[in-house]
Structure 1
Amino acid sequence: MISHDLKNKVVLIGGGAKNLGGLISKSFAKEGAKIIVHYNSASTKKDAESTVAEIKKNGGEAFEIQGDFTNANEVAKVFAEGKSRFGKIDIAINTVGKVLKKPIVEVTESEFDSMSDINSKAAYFFIKEAGKNLNDNGKICTIVTSLLSAYTPFYSSYAGTKAPVEHFTRAASFEFGQRGISVTAVGPGPMNTPFFYGQETPEAVEYNKKAPALANFSKTGLTDIEDIVPLVKFLVTDGWWITGQTILANGGYTAR
């Protein structure tokens, strides 16, 4: 029998310190999960510590751990430490990503390499380590982007380096399926977080707020992180029968 709740589940969250990852960390902890809060660098250490402190204050269990996910050995280290501390890992969710809005002719080789490392390589080795370390009947979910279905300029290095994760997801779901592990990806629309605003002009922000079909029923017009957490939770609990799929969650911003 597959358990469909989060109580006593150990959940490793890549980029679990703030924004969407932080809300997943805190929301899952409230439902009884034990949380491994990964953060990338010193710049997010305080966010990770704050998220862990809030979880513990509310009676939950969590710890933070640093790891540069562009290095496969660092990904393996985070999984190994999580398994050592809690004895198991049941669910692995990767929210790590980097966005760049720039015409193709202006993207440098170093920028492309960085985007590829963070959006593709890190996701691949996260899924690999999850497949090696998760219990049978575990769940894996990666955050990608709704731009995978968009016809738009300037995001070639962002959507282009997130696109391989769709195939990583399909392949892993087939390979891990005999162990009861489901593997999914979620593609939010532009989210109301600093991750979105950093590279957008005021005009682009206003366009994106009006673009979704359901924009008039949203707090901001954008995808709010509160809209994504329940979907991720569903996919790693009751929605376990969904596997190998990328789900676009964007209020009608893009569709396939």
Structure 2
Amino acid sequence: MRPLIGITGPDRGGLAAWLAAAWAVRRAGGRPLRLRPGRPREGVALDGLIVGGGADVSGLLHPDPPDAASASVHVARPWRRWLPLLLAPLLYLLRRALSTLRSPSPDPDRDRLEQRLLDACLAEGRPVLGICRGAQLLNVVRGGRLHRDLADFYVETPQLRTLLPQKTVDITADSRLAQILGRRRCRVNALHRQAIASLGEGLVVSAREANRVIQAVEDPAQTFVIGVQWHPEYLPQRPEQRALFAALVAAAAGSPPT
């Protein structure tokens, strides 16, 4: 039987993210199951977990980092890179059309549900993929801290908010993420306002952008515990992003690491 992958989201909105992630899981050979605060599916045995994006992690779960100082790095942007940005509003409208109502920010009920699910999966060694907010929550559950607002990191470069793969991130050479993606650098999208400031217990950085903002983390002691700041479910045309879901489903099925 195909492995059952839980995908978390809010009670209101989040339809676009659910459909995109569910499709990615199905393409990878898994069975997606939607998990929300109003329908947590208690008692269902999951083989793997995707903690999805959405509202910011509640401030009650993470205090401000002791040192929020930031540095910016100028990155040249050729004019040709601006053309795809013109298409971003169309993708944004499509995403909003499928998302119905926006989820509240913060969403403490969702925080609590996802924290319980993460605690259970991490304790039992089940594979976990955190997407954007999910990566942040993974870090918080492990005792790490977050930057509440990344505006100071983008003084000299634009702070992109786009569904298109317009942000370049550098992947750590010997990381599990690099092994899965099959590359040291990739282009990703960006929909976040917060990011990881200090690492939670057992986590290591597996990707950064040029200004040193953390873009991915993982637990090298686990077969598959990875958090990415971008949204791979919105990049189905990119083979390396599809590989992320394939690796999650393979780990959930108990297949040897790829």
Is the TM value for this pair above 0.5? no
Which bracket does the TM-score occupy, shorter chain normalised?
A: 0.3 to 0.5
TM-score, normalisation: structure 2: 0.38
**Larger strand proportion of the pair:** 2
Higher RCO (C-alpha under 8 Å, 6+ residues apart) = 2
**Larger helix proportion of the pair:** 1
